[in-house]
Chains A and B, each alone.
Chain A
Amino acid sequence: MEALLLSRWQFAITTIYHFFFVPLTLGLTLFVALLETCYVRTNNPAWKATSRKLVKFFGTIFLINFSLGVVTGIVQEFHFGMNWSEYARFMGDIFGAPLALEALTAFFLESTFLGIWMFGWDKLSEKAHCACIWIVALGSNLSAFWILVANSFMQHPVGFAIRNGRAEMTDFASLITNPYVVGEYSHAFFAGMTTAGFLVLAVSAWKYVHDHASRYAFTQTLKAGSVFAFVGIIGVMGSGHMHTQYLQQANPMKLSSMEALWETEDPAPFAIVADINQEAQRNDSELTVPGLFSFMLYNTPTGEVKGINNLQAEAVAKYGPGDYRPDVKAMFWTFRAMVGSAGLMMLTILITAFLAWKNKLAKCTCFLRILPFLMPLPFIANSSGWFVAEGGRQPWIVVGLQKTAAAVSPNLTGTDVFLTLSGFTVLYLVLIFAALYIAFRFINRTSVTTVAEGSDAK
């Protein structure tokens, strides 16, 4: 029991930590690839020199982030066998395939071409070098796709049969075309763009204010970054909305937990805030907008939405006695943390876009001074988003097929997992501080001047 609880903590901490870096990798490869494409294509010598330095500047930030993403990714792959061997046994016939395909199609591509990109500036033609970063971007996205194929099966199993005491794959095509993948992948992709775009804005604002020699360069990235981040945030909101509507069929328990809707209602209200009482299975008090929840799902203010208590009764009838409710309070508030951060980001991005494109940056440096301190927003949104996704399928590890409690490695003791949990946590903390220290130091010390000579980005 102790090993189970600690294993869950260990997996959660590793996943959240890993997911600090993954969206940034997804988005920043794309941003750097676009920037390098500008560098290759431009005929303007001043912008050519500047954009090359900018590629190296954001490339360096990307590489620091990437190194942490890679090493924690290995932990993820090992964890399924180390802590969740009964899961790996039960699910291996299905889950192993996308993981192996991720390594074969994505990890090799990413690591090999990133190595070439990092050290190949003088060894390749401009175009070939630029192609390398595009290949890295492709690799990152393939990696995200395969792991979300695997995750989508856990959320919404398809293309399988239960035989020989395990889940066996019967249809690979339906595994990769699982509608759940569409929602998760598009949401993660645009979240990556938003995170990277926001980072570009925060760093550029900081440089704009504190490093006058670099103003021209970072005015450009404030313009480009605000467009990039805007596409991201629109995409993340749109895909999130579509995916939530889809949850109504795919995983209604998760959906109603996100909104703390205990009883089936038509039309269903949307709770802005609620005092949730998980034991009594109700909200002690709440502030609601009538019909809004139905409207969000059906695009009209009417329509039935099933409540947690009714879904619980259905689950008992289907799977036998047990508690099939996730932690509603945590679901409700993390969902709001995610949506709230997204709203604030949207506002920030719009203001930045306005200032940058209307050439009003110099007049509003006080806004640019605040912007870097909003950098936690995308990370709050990403982490709480994953919490909603993974917390919402509890108590299942694979919805309807295996419970989390049945998945843990039977040979582990609480002491084993306690040791590794403490070890990983301390290591993660030390490394994030080391990486942030280096990143801040690099950003502060590196100027991106417009003259062809001058201090180089690396």
Chain B
Amino acid sequence: MTLNLVWFILIVVLFSGFFLLEGFDYGVGTLMPFLDKREEKRTEVIMSIAPVWDGNEVWMITAGGALFAAFPHVYSTMFSTFYLALFLMLVALILRGVAFELRGHKTDGNWQRIWDAAICFGSAVPAILWGVAVTNLLRGLPIDANMVYQGGFLDLLSVYSIVGGLTFFFVFAFHGAAFLTLRLTDHDLLESARSLGVRMGLLAVIFFVACLVLTYMETDLFLSTPAVIFMLITAVTFIVAWLRLRSGVAAGKSAFALSAVSIISVTVAFFLGLFPRLMVSSLNPEWSLTITNAASTPYTLHIMTIAAGCLVPVVLIYQAWSYWIFRKRITPEDAHKAH
């Protein structure tokens, strides 16, 4: 197995971890204002992710860093191509990150409502933008022989990419709702998370089917049998997850586990559909960025493989430990103490 392939797999792992973990953070942040009007109840919701969201976000930063180190041409082309989209994402992530910190320092209603809105915006926008990015990457972008994007921001918007964006939005919202059913104790809050999650999940199923149809029409993903298999796994696990959450809060655990599987498998399907490309050129297939022509030297890949091989397991262990520490459900008293 070549190092290029190792790094392709590692990129898949990092993006899977990112979507799995930040997926529910985005979902929780998006749903939070709609679960309860009372600020102390919203605090309970936020506390379910407060100790871990920052660590989860590092999965995205690491995925970006890994792309830079292993496939610098992909990093260069992708980040400059999505320039204005990434600007929007950065604004959202900045607002969200600062909001988590500043919201709790003042309990007067307006102050908290402003930051609630920032958290909601800052969670919803990245979710949508990742969907837009993923669909654009699958369909291909006007990339020239020098790996430079030949379009503008508006070229990134199409029916397919907007459907993709909304699919991600609803999937993450569902995923976040399922996560909340595992983390809260307040009965009303649990029930409103569940019912909102079920509605989001239904929309997610509808948009996912639409997205699959468009993927079939617009991309070559269905030419790859493994990708199709993983898409099927995604569809089945997500629908079962939705049915589980619909059946009641008590089934939250299996609903969350299944939605986690569906998020990982859709990420795998996406990368399998691209393989061995990482960015598809719609102008000329020869100009696509692949794991070979976009990669770093074998020397750099070698160093980075050793480093990642030693570090990723350690990171997984201590991150798992942090989830273990905060395994107890959030009670109204916890939120009260935080105020």
The residue that B86 contacts in the complex, of A68, A82, A99, with Cβ under 8 A, is: A82
Task: Give Cα distance in the complex from A81 to B80, angstroms.
Answer: 6
The verdict on A416 contacting B65 (CB below 8 Å), with A92-B73, A96-B296 known, is no
The verdict on A93 contacting B102 (CB below 8 Å), with A99-B69, A112-B318, A116-B325 known, is no
Q: Are A104 and B86 in contact (CB under 8 A)?
A: no
CB distance from B248 to the nearest CB of A (A): 29
Segment from B28-36, B90-98, B131-139, B220-228 that makes contact with A: B90-98
Q: Are B303 and A97 in contact (CB under 8 A)?
A: yes
The residue that A434 contacts in the complex, of B50, B70, B82, B98, with Cβ under 8 A, is: B98
User: Is B322 in contact with chain A by the CB < 8 A criterion?
Assistant: yes
**Chain A residues whose C-beta falls within 8 Å of the C-beta of B285 in the assembled complex:** none
Q: Are A64 and B101 in contact (CB under 8 A)?
A: yes
User: Is A94 in contact with chain B by the CB < 8 A criterion?
Assistant: yes
**Chain A residues whose C-beta falls within 8 Å of the C-beta of B217 in the assembled complex:** none
Q: Are A67 and B311 in contact (CB under 8 A)?
A: no
User: Is B216 in contact with chain A by the CB < 8 A criterion?
Assistant: no
Scan residues 294-342 of chain A and give those whose CB is less than 8 A from a CB of chain B. Answer: none
The residue that A423 contacts in the complex, of B52, B91, B308, with Cβ under 8 A, is: B91
Q: How many of chain A's residues have a CB under 8 angstroms from any CB in B?
A: 69
The residue that A411 contacts in the complex, of B73, B87, B100, B148, with Cβ under 8 A, is: B148
Q: Are A108 and B55 in contact (CB under 8 A)?
A: yes
Interface of B, secondary structure class, is helix
The verdict on A68 contacting B98 (CB below 8 Å), with A97-B300, A416-B84 known, is yes
Task: Give Cα distance in the complex from A95 to B69, angstroms.
Answer: 7
Q: Are B68 and A96 in contact (CB under 8 A)?
A: yes
The residue that B77 contacts in the complex, of A74, A85, A427, A438, with Cβ under 8 A, is: A85
Task: Give Cα distance in the complex from A86 to B82, angstroms.
Answer: 15
Given known contacts A72-B94, A78-B79, A409-B83, what 17 new A-B pairs fall within 8 Å (CB)?
A67-B97, A67-B98, A67-B101, A81-B78, A83-B80, A83-B83, A96-B70, A112-B52, A112-B319, A113-B322, A114-B54, A115-B55, A168-B297, A411-B148, A423-B87, A427-B94, A438-B105
Q: What are the nearest 3 A-B pairs in CB distance?
A: A92-B72, A81-B79, A96-B69
Partner-B contacts on A (CB < 8 A): 63-64, 66-68, 70-72, 74-75, 77-78, 80-83, 85-86, 88-89, 91-97, 99-105, 107-109, 111-116, 118-120, 123-124, 168-170, 172, 409-413, 416, 419-420, 423-424, 427, 431, 434-435, 438, 441-442
7 contacts between A and B (CB under 8 A): A67-B98, A71-B94, A75-B90, A102-B65, A109-B318, A118-B51, A409-B76
